[in-house]
Amino acid sequence: MIDWLLCLLASGLFANPRLQPWAPVAVLVAEYTFFVGFFGQTPGMFVVRIRCVRYPDGGPLGVARAFVRGLLLALLVPALIMDRDQRGLHDRAVGSIMVSQRA
């Protein structure tokens, strides 16, 4: 939710999200590509203390996988279908998993 609100605000700088609904989605994909690709977490993930890492070794996801993950998240469907490890289709497709930073 935090990341989506940031995307709405950022897209408002160059487009009207009401008239161009693609703008916040494009910003969301760009945000995921940059932040998850380079830092392992978006600003929203940072606030709630979770990271997106490679499964099963916990290494960095990388820009290419983060881009594909962002595109799949933009479809919404992959995030709604989860396996027994709580990994959505988008996570399974790119070999990622969300982990807590609390421990």
How far, in Å, CA of 50 to CA of 9, rounded? 23
pLDDT of residue 9: 93
**How far is it, in rounded angstroms, from Cα 31 to Cα 10?**
10
What are the Cα distances from residue 70, in Å, to 1, 19, 34, 44? 15, 22, 10, 14
Q: What is the pLDDT of residues 16-73, one digit of tens each?
A: 988 999 999 999 999 999 999 999 999 999 999 999 999 989 999 999 999 999 999 8
Which residue range is the domain that position 61 belongs to? 2-100
Domains contained in the chain, number: 1
Q: What share of the chain is helix, strand, coil (3-state, %, to 5)?
A: 55, 10, 35
